C-alpha cells in the first residue's frame, strides 16, 4: 500500500510499504477516508536526524472498518469510525478515569512502533476501546469538523479544561495554529466571557474572531505580556491555553496568568525543563495539561458538531491527495497552509 514515510528533516516521501493487516485479535483494520497533517508532525519535519527506519506518519483519521480480529466486540466491518491519535483499551483504570492517553495497554499512532494514518489503510490496536463509530456517511458535509475530533478539537478542549475555563472567565489563547483556534472554540463553548488570542497571522486572527475571540494581541515576549496586562486592568487572565510548546510561549503563558490562575499546556514541549518556575510559584499559578485524551471528549463534542453549534473543520484550508502529502508538509511548514486534510 501507499503510505507517508519520514526519513529525516524535510524528507517526507510516499512509499510502497507492506499492507496494513490484523496482528492481534483485538485489532481492526480501516481504510482511511480522511487524514490530516498535524502541527506536531512538523517537529520531526524540522529536526529529525536522517534514518532508514520506516516511520509511517499520521495520527488523525476517519476510515471505514475493513476487518476485525476475533476478540473485537463493538466494532463491525463497514462502520465509519474516528481514530483518535492514541489507542486505548477502554477498560483499564486510566481509561475509566477518562485519561486514555495513559492507558496501560495504549500507545500512539504514527510512531516507529505503530504505523500512522497518512496512508491507504491503518491497523488499529485495541479497536473496541479506541474507535468511535460515527452516525453519518463517509462523504457527509460535516466530515472536516468530525475529523478534528481525532485530535485538534479535543486537544483545544483539553487545554481549556486544564486551564479551568468557565463562565465569566477571562481567557488567553497562546498560539494561532489549528489547536489554538480550536481552543478558542472550546473556551467560548465553556462560557468564557473574554477570549484574547495571541497571534499575528491575519487570516488566522480572522478565524479566531469568527470562533469567538474578543481581543487580539499580536506583540511577542515582554510586549505581549504588557499588552495582556493592560487589557486586564493589570491583573492578568484567569485561564491560559498554551498551544505552542516553545520556551517563549510557556514563559508568556505563565506571565499573563493572574495570581491563582491556571495554564493548560497542550503544545508538545520542546525543552526538558519547564520555563517560568518562579513566576508560577510566586503567583500560585497552576500549570497543567498534557496529551489530550481525545477519545474521552468525542461523546461530549460530537453533538455540537452534528447540530452545527461549532465548526472546527474551518481550520482546514487545503486538501491534498495522498501522493501530494509531501507538498502539504512543505505548505504547513512554510505557513502557506494552516491545516492540511488528506483524501487518500
Ligand atoms: Zn486503558
CA 17, CA 296: separation in Å to the nearest integer?
32
What's the mean pLDDT when you consider all of the chain? 97
Q: What is the pLDDT of residues 167-201, one digit of tens each?
A: 999 999 999 999 999 999 999 999 999 999 999 99
Cα 96 to ligand 1 centroid, rounded to whole Å: 7
**Per-position DSSP letters for 77-141, written without gaps between them:** TT-EEEE-SEE--S-SHHHHTT-GGG-TT-EETTSSSS--SSBSEEEETTHHHH-EE-SS-TT-T
For residue 99, the CA-to-ligand 1 centroid distance in Å is 8
- Ligand 1 centre from 291 Cα, in Å? 15
Statement: residue 45 has pLDDT above 90: yes
> What's residue 4's pLDDT?
98
pLDDT at 127: 98
How many whole angstroms from 153 Cα to the centroid of ligand 1?
Answer: 21
CA distances from 199 to 76, 120, 126, 301, 328 (A): 43, 35, 38, 25, 22
CA–CA gap between residue 251 and residue 254 (Å, rounded): 5
- Using an 8 Å Cβ cutoff, are 179 and 39 in contact? yes
Its pTM surpasses 0.95: yes
CA distance 342 to 80: 17
Tell me: the pLDDT tens digits for 198-243?
A: 999 999 999 999 999 999 999 999 999 999 999 999 999 999 999 9
For residue 208, the CA-to-ligand 1 centroid distance in Å is: 34
C-alpha cell of residue 317: 484550508
Mean pLDDT, rounded, for 133-158: 97
* The pLDDT value given to residue 271: 84
Whether pLDDT at 283 is above 90:
yes
Is the confidence at residue 308, as pLDDT, over 90?
Answer: yes
270: pLDDT confidence band, cut at 50, 70 and 90?
confident
Mean pLDDT calculated for residue range 293-297? 98
Evaluate whether 124 touches 317 at the Cβ level (below 8 Å): no
Distance 102 CA to ligand 1 centre (A): 7
Amino acid at each position: 500500500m501507499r503510505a507517508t514515510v519520514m526519513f529525516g528533516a524535510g524528507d517526507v516521501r510516499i512509499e510502497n510499504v507492506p499492507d496494513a493487516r490484523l496482528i492481534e485479535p483485538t485489532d481492526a483494520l480501516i481504510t482511511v477516508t480522511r487524514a490530516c497533517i498535524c502541527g506536531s508532525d512538523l517537529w520531526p519535519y524540522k529536526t529529525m536526524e536522517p534514518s532508514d527506519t520506516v516511520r509511517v506518519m499520521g495520527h488523525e483519521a476517519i476510515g471505514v472498518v475493513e476487518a476485525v480480529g476475533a476478540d473485537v466486540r463493538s466494532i463491525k466491518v463497514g462502520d465509519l469510525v474516528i481514530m483518535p491519535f492514541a489507542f486505548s483499551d477502554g477498560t483499564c483504570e486510566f481509561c475509566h478515569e477518562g485519561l486514555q492517553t495513559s492507558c496501560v495497554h495504549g500507545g500512539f499512532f504514527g510512531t516507529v512502533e505503530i504505523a500512522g494514518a497518512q496512508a491507504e489503510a491503518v491497523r488499529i490496536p485495541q479497536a473496541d476501546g479506541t474507535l468511535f463509530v460515527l452516525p453519518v456517511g463517509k462523504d457527509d458535509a460535516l466530515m472536516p469538523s468530525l475529523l478534528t475530533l481525532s485530535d485538534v478539537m479535543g486537544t483545544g478542549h483539553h487545554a481549556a479544561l486544564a486551564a479551568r475555563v468557565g463562565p465569566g472567565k477571562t481567557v488567553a489563547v497562546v498560539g494561532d495554529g489549528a489547536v489554538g483556534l480550536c481552543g478558542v472554540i472550546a473556551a467560548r463553548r465553556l462560557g468564557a466571557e473574554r477570549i484574547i488570542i495571541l497571534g499575528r497571522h491575519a487570516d488566522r486572527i480572522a478565524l479566531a474572531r469568527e470562533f469567538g475571540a474578543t481581543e487580539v494581541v499580536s506583540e511577542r515576549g515582554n510586549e505581549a505580556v504588557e499588552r495582556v496586562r493592560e487589557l486586564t486592568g493589570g491583573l492578568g487572565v484567569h485561564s491560559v491555553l498554551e498551544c505552542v510548546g516553545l520556551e517563549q510561549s510557556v514563559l508568556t503563558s505563565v506571565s499573563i496568568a493572574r495570581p491563582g490562575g491556571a495554564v493548560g499546556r497542550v503544545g508538545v514541549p520542546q525543552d526538558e525543563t519547564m520555563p517560568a518556575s518562579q513566576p508560577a510559584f510566586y503567583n500560585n499559578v497552576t500549570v497543567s495539561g498534557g496529551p489530550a485524551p481525545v477519545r474521552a471528549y468525542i461523546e461530549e463534542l460530537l453533538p455540537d458538531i452534528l447540530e452545527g453549534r461549532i465548526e472546527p473543520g474551518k481550520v482546514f484550508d487545503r486538501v491534498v491527495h495522498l501522493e501530494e502529502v509531501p507538498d502539504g508538509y512543505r505548505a504547513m511548514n512554510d505557513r502557506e497552509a494552516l491545516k492540511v486534510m488528506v483524501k487518500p
